[in-house]
Each structure stands twice: as structure tokens, then as C-alpha cells.
């Protein structure tokens, strides 16, 4: 998959939800995981995180939205059911992204929503568990940025296999010649 992404949460208080969220981020290949204003009692061992993601993903813990620091070019995407949020199936995922999900019984804080470059919503009738929400968002990202055969318009597998990528020669916009090439 192209680009990189991170997954985070604001105001989490349940150990199992944090573990599930970290495991989901790890399973989809997140570059790192972060939390903002998480309950300090969460500890470092999560029963739901059977992949032991802290051994594989850097973890950043910030106290407030103002403390968050992201790499240059990284866009912060809030996942929240707000009236002005873009519906996920219509959203164009940036190559460099950090996804932030709200707490179990609440929403992203106004300060966090203000920090977000984009707000997206999963078109459901009501909120779903944070781990499930992350799985849906990251699956959608994979669908957009991954290399997969086109989905069949009828039931079943794709009719045409994905074409193999053909590498071409480098293209230079300035007309520059690279030593050792013709």
C-alpha cells in the first residue's frame, strides 16, 4: 500500500477498546499508534491486543490536542458522526494520514475537531465500537490505496485479474540526464 498512516484515539477509558484499536491498527499496517487524553489506568498490557502491537508499533501518548505533533504533510482525519463530515465511501484518503477516533461514550472534543484537516463519518444508523470503526476506516483506506483487481459488478470474484505493473524509465520534468543512462 502507498503512503503511511497512524491510528489514534481521544479520551479512551476502556482497556479492551484500546487493545482492540491497537490490534486493528497493527493488523492493517499502521506506522504508529497514538492516544490523546487517555485514562492513565489503561496500563500497558491489553488483553484484547493478542498481536502485542506495542512490540511492533511506536506509541505516542499526548495529554491534549495542542501537544500532538505529526510528520510534515500528514493530515489529521477525525472519525465522527457530525453533520458536516464526509461520508467514508466518498472520501479521498490522503497518502500521509493520522486517523483519530473518539471515546466510547462521547465525541471528539471541539479542540480535536478544530485540529482535524478532515472529518469523515461511517454511514451507519448509530455509532459502532471504536475497534470496529477503525477496521471499517482502514479497510476503506486499503481499498483506495491498495493494489487490488477491480471489484466485480456481479456476485463473485473479479472477472479480470489485476494487471501486472510494468516499470518504465525514469521521467524527469527538467530534462536532466542521469549519469549512466542513455
In angstroms, the CA 134 to CA 71 distance is 21
Task: Give Cα separations from 45 to 16, 32, 48 (angstroms).
Answer: 10, 17, 9
CB contact at 8 A, 111 and 66: yes
pLDDT tens digits, 138-152: 999 988 887 777 777
| Cell (9 digits) for 59 | 506509541
| φ, ψ of residue 24 in degrees (nearest 5) | -65, -45
**pLDDT score for 92:** 94
In angstroms, the CA 66 to CA 20 distance is 26
pLDDT tens digits, 58-112: 888 899 999 999 999 999 999 998 889 999 999 999 999 999 998 877 899 999 9
In angstroms, the CA 179 to CA 8 distance is 45
Confidence band for 45, pLDDT divided at 50, 70 and 90: very low
CA neighbor of 36 nearest in space, from 116, 92, 90: 116
**pLDDT score for 101:** 95
Amino acid at each position: 500500500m502507498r503512503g503511511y498512516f497512524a491510528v489514534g484515539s481521544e479520551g479512551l477509558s476502556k482497556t479492551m477498546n484500546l487493545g482492540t484499536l491497537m490490534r486493528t491498527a497493527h493488523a492493517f499496517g499502521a506506522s504508529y499508534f497514538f492516544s490523546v487524553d487517555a485514562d492513565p489506568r489503561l496500563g500497558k498490557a491489553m488483553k484484547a491486543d493478542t498481536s502485542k502491537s506495542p512490540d511492533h508499533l511506536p506509541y505516542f501518548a499526548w495529554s491534549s490536542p495542542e501537544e500532538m505533533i505529526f510528520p510534515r504533510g500528514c493530515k489529521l482525519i477525525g472519525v465522527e458522526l457530525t453533520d458536516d463530515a464526509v461520508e467514508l465511501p466518498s472520501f479521498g484518503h490522503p497518502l500521509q494520514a493520522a486517523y483519530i477516533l473518539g471515546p466510547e461514550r462521547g465525541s471528539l472534543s471541539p479542540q480535536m475537531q478544530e485540529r482535524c484537516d478532515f472529518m469523515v463519518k461511517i454511514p451507519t444508523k448509530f455509532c459502532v465500537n471504536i475497534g470496529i470503526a477503525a477496521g471499517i476506516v482502514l479497510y476503506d483506506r486499503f481499498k483506495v490505496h491498495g493494489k487490488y483487481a477491480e471489484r466485480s459488478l456481479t456476485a463473485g470474484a473479479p472477472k479480470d485479474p489485476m494487471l501486472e505493473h510494468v516499470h518504465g524509465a525514469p521521467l524527469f520534468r527538467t530534462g536532466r540526464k542521469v549519469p549512466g543512462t542513455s
